[in-house]
Amino acid sequence: MKLFIDGDQGRAICDHCKKMVSLTFKRRDVPFSDKKGLAHDILVGVCDECDQVVSIPAQSTPSISESRRKALRSIEVRLPAIYLDMLDLAAFTVEPDSKPDFRKDLLCYYIHDLAQDPKGIQRLLSAHKLSLVSYAVNTVKIPSRRLSMKVPDKLKAELRRLEDESELNTTDLMKSVVFDIQREVLQKPKPVKIKALRYLALVAG
């Protein structure tokens, strides 16, 4: 595949001039493929005679594709405060300088990791058991906190699949994910995971 740069020349049929014309690659604002809004400074072939866009090179299609800008899905749960403390402690342990939002990245990473792991459901169910024995018998009422995050479509689908296969509801599933995180980050740190998570903390946000 050829990559074009600003100022490159080419030829194409121009719909406006109704003939073969010479074109020059320039940056223009182009409508997204779903026509909702404009993508800015996209490299396109512009007719040298009428100045209309006559071709969009392959390298520019990702920037204008609608799938790239699909709305994020939201996940909302209420968790006992202790789970958010656990998550924050794990985020802090991975990277003390991480941003407050890193705990959400950490959750997303683990949802994806559990969805990809052939033993993911086993891991979830054992984490769930652990969460039950650790906090269910507590007689003191633990206050709960709201956790809301925006995630890509595909991650939301992975979460749904984990829910279906584990037969846990969203709240119990998220509790189990947090417990899995605390197991792998705090209790028995897994060096490979910690390394990947440190990198994530570095590039996130």
Report the alpha-carbon distance of residue 175 to residue 79 in Å, rounded.
Answer: 7
Q: What is the CA radius of gyration of the chain?
A: 24
Report the alpha-carbon distance of residue 78 to residue 167 in Å, rounded.
Answer: 18
- Under the binding rule (CB under 5 A), the answer on residue 17 touching Zn ion is yes
Contacts 24+ apart (CB under 8 A), 81-85: 81/142, 81/143, 81/144, 81/145, 82/135, 82/142, 83/174, 83/175, 83/178, 84/145, 84/147
Segment contacting Zn ion by CB under 5 A, of 13-21, 22-30, 111-119, 141-149: 13-21
Q: Is the Cβ of residue 49 or residue 163 nearer to Zn ion in the bound state?
A: 49
Segment contacting Zn ion by CB under 5 A, of 5-13, 44-52, 168-176, 184-192: 44-52
Let me know: does 46 contact 53? Beta carbons within 8 Å.
Answer: yes
Residues 118-157 that bind Zn ion (CB under 5 A): none
- Under the binding rule (CB under 5 A), the answer on residue 48 touching Zn ion is no
Residues 87-116 that bind Zn ion (CB under 5 A): none
Residue among 11, 16, 161, 190 that touches Zn ion (CB under 5 A): 16
- Under the binding rule (CB under 5 A), the answer on residue 50 touching Zn ion is yes
- Under the binding rule (CB under 5 A), the answer on residue 49 touching Zn ion is yes
Residues near Zn ion, by CB under 5 A: 14, 16-17, 47, 49-50
